Structure 1
Amino acid sequence: MRRRGERPLGRTPTLASILAELRDKGVRPKFIYTIPTVQNPSATIMGVERRQKMLDLARKYGVPIFEDDCYAELIWEGSRPPTIRSMDREGQVIYCGTFSKTIAVALRVGYVVADWPVLRRLMPLKTDGGCGALEQMALAEYCPEHYAGHVDELRRILKGKYDVMTGAMAEQFGASAEFAQQQGGIYLWVTLPDSVDTDKLAQIAGAQGVAVNPGSDWSADPDAGRHRIRLCFGHASHQQIRDGVARLADICHGEFGVPQRGANVER
């Protein structure tokens, strides 16, 4: 992002000061990008009050918000918050969604919701020939009668896999791994001790058949994510999750000496 002249805005509480700083320098950001519902990789859900504050700041400084809501259907606990787009009355928000997270990964069909002055500028920039007509027709046939039931079942399945993943992490890593309780998503954001370099861990684990995402790849500040990993449980079976976490714990212990215990056994 920095190589392209983009600047991550970080957490919402710092947004006002950063926008003010840029204004004083005569710079107006192109947009504010956010995944407010089941954020990637933290899986956090932004509260309504913070959504309103972000929208107010966007209006104050004349910066559009690009709201990426690709994971919003994957909430298995609590109610889905209103979109920032639904709170907008001035055309400040560009909203996008997708069916690739809910129906099929290979189904690369998404959509944008925005006021016409924005859409008419976006449409000429689409250079891939458009989404396939067959996929769109299949979705149009499937969704009215089947989509809601399918998503309900998907949530149940993902919640089960999340429980298996968190249980396996607690069993194999114990207090060496920290993670927050989640209300949705397909991934777990884990913090390991400072002695663990997750860039190195991901490389070694990958060579041994255990795929994890190093935190540096998912952080605006790579150094801040150096001791974190993103574990995806969306596709794996329950047994694959248990086996993978156990193997990851063994690899981590072999390279960094943690965790010292796993499944109540001293390593």
Structure 2
Amino acid sequence: MKTYRFTGGNTAPETFPVKGLIKAAEKGISQVGTGFISYPGELGHQGLREVIAQREMDREGVEVSPAYISLTNGSMQAVTLMAETFMKGPGDVVVTEELTYMGTIGAYKRLGAQLVGVPMDKNGMDLDKLEETLERLHENGTPPAFIYTIPTYHNPTGIVMPKERRLRLIDIARCFDTIVVEDNCYGDVHYEGEKPPAFYALDDDPRHIYICSLSKILGPGVRQGYFYARPPYLERILDRRYDGGCSLLSGSILAAYFKDNFWEHCKMTNALLKEKRDATIDALQRDLSGICSWTQPIGGLFIWIKFPDDVDQVELDALLAKRQFIHSPGRILHVEGKDIPYLRISFGAVPLDDISEGIAILADCIQAARRLKPAVSAI
């Protein structure tokens, strides 16, 4: 039976540049030469950090020094380093959107963090609720270690936080003397519209710490992430690194591949991803219009689907598993694990020809799992 894998933050495998990376490997390895006998250091390959700094400057329009960029083993190492650096111990609070990446939820909970979720609306984190949350935490003597947010092409919703709201979040964080960790790993998976600036580009407060990745434009198997932090926070984070640095071999190859080629690569990958996004939305409109509602992301890899309240979620999961439709239930993306009537689908790695078939299966299963079959509701 065919498997329809609408899960995971994977880009289109059709765009993975095998030949380009083989050519880059020859160049990159030759440039480092016998330097591979040495440890890469806590910042990592200089050439790749320069390429990444240029990526950030091109997108954000502000100066970014490679001296403040540290390469990591995927963005998840950077995510984990933030908690290891800024939490004083188990039970410390981390504030985030109430819906967020399940990997972050799992990592922070394993490190002993108490995750406090802030509700979202169509523009991202609800900042009135954030302000109320921070006031309550401070009154209770439990100020957060930091705020963790995915403001651009949010996982799982695909929502983009507008610039005006970002500026207000910066003001709120400053008022409460709170570090903001921005995870922008989907930032260059962009289809249309404007890209709102990163927090560090809006305000030069060193309490804004930025995480990004090459996984979403290249592939998670490459394991290449990074963070950008300014003194004194850069030194504090680096003090928590015990891994000897990120792969010099990987860095040398990626530096050679992306030098003078970064935006052309993004253009190529995003063209196919946009086609897949459009095919997914077309199929949802065909099969689930009037039954479900969903986000229409202008970037990223995810669509967040609201299904009717009368759907039996246990039955839905069983039906989808039987039909080999792999998805992400809403509860695993909620910081409290609540059984919410939502699910996330990822379209990036699904073959284009399988999208229509897969969404038809999803629609069949949602209808079959409804307890009140005649009712039709959507928001």
Report which structure shows greater RCO (CA 8 Å, sep ≥6): 2
Q: Provide the residue aligned with 1:15 in structure 2.
A: 130
Q: 2:320 aligns with which of 205, 224, 229?
A: 205
TM-score by length of 1: 0.90
Q: Provide the residue aligned with 2:355 in structure 1.
A: 241
Please give the alpha-carbon distance, in whole angstroms, between the structure 2 residues aligned to 1:33 and 1:14: 15
Please give the alpha-carbon distance, in whole angstroms, between the structure 2 residues aligned to 1:154 and 1:228: 28
Question: Residue 213 of structure 1: CA displacement?
Answer: 0.7
CA RMSD of aligned residues (A): 2.0
Question: Residue 7 of structure 1: CA displacement?
Answer: 1.4
SS of residue matched to 1:139? helix
Q: Provide the residue aligned with 1:263 in structure 2.
A: none
Please give the alpha-carbon distance, in whole angstroms, between the structure 2 residues aligned to 1:173 and 1:157: 24
Quickly say closer, same or farther: Cα 1:164–1:245, change in 2 above 3 A: same
Please give the alpha-carbon distance, in whole angstroms, between the structure 2 residues aligned to 1:181 and 1:188: 7
CA contact (8 A) 1:38 1:72 kept: yes
The letter for the 1-side match of 2:360 is A
Superposed CA deviations along residues 50-77 of structure 1, whole A, max 9, x for unmatched, are 1011111111111100000001101211
Q: Provide the residue aligned with 1:264 in structure 2.
A: none
Q: 1:56 aligns with which of 161, 171, 189?
A: 171
Is 2:365 aligned against 1:251? Answer: yes
Q: Provide the residue aligned with 2:41 in structure 1.
A: none
Matches within 5 A, 1:128-139: 128-139=243-254
Please give the alpha-carbon distance, in whole angstroms, between the structure 1 residues aligned to 2:202 and 2:185: 18
CA contact (8 A) 1:205 1:251 kept: yes
Q: Specify every segment of 5 or more residues in structure 2 that has no aligned partner in the other structure, as ranges.
A: 1-104, 120-125, 375-379
Please give the alpha-carbon distance, in whole angstroms, between the structure 2 residues aligned to 1:259 and 1:164: 27
CA contact (8 A) 2:315 2:369 kept: no
Question: Residue 38 of structure 1: CA displacement?
Answer: 0.5
Q: Provide the residue aligned with 2:157 in structure 1.
A: 42
Please give the alpha-carbon distance, in whole angstroms, between the structure 2 residues aligned to 1:245 and 1:7: 33
SS of residue matched to 2:282? helix
CA contact (8 A) 1:202 1:211 kept: no
Question: Residue 26 of structure 1: CA displacement?
Answer: 1.9
Q: Provide the residue aligned with 1:174 in structure 2.
A: 289
Question: Residue 196 of structure 1: CA displacement?
Answer: 1.4
Q: Provide the residue aligned with 1:6 in structure 2.
A: 115
Please give the alpha-carbon distance, in whole angstroms, between the structure 2 residues aligned to 1:206 and 1:88: 46
TM-score by length of 2: 0.64
Give the count of matched residue pairs: 259
Quickly say closer, same or farther: Cα 1:175–1:100, change in 2 above 3 A: same
Superposed CA deviations along residues 13-63 of structure 1, whole A, max 9, x for unmatched, are 311111111111222110000011101111011011110111111111111
SS of residue matched to 2:218? coil
Please give the alpha-carbon distance, in whole angstroms, between the structure 2 residues aligned to 1:143 and 1:73: 14
| Residues 3-12 or 61-70, more deviating | 3-12
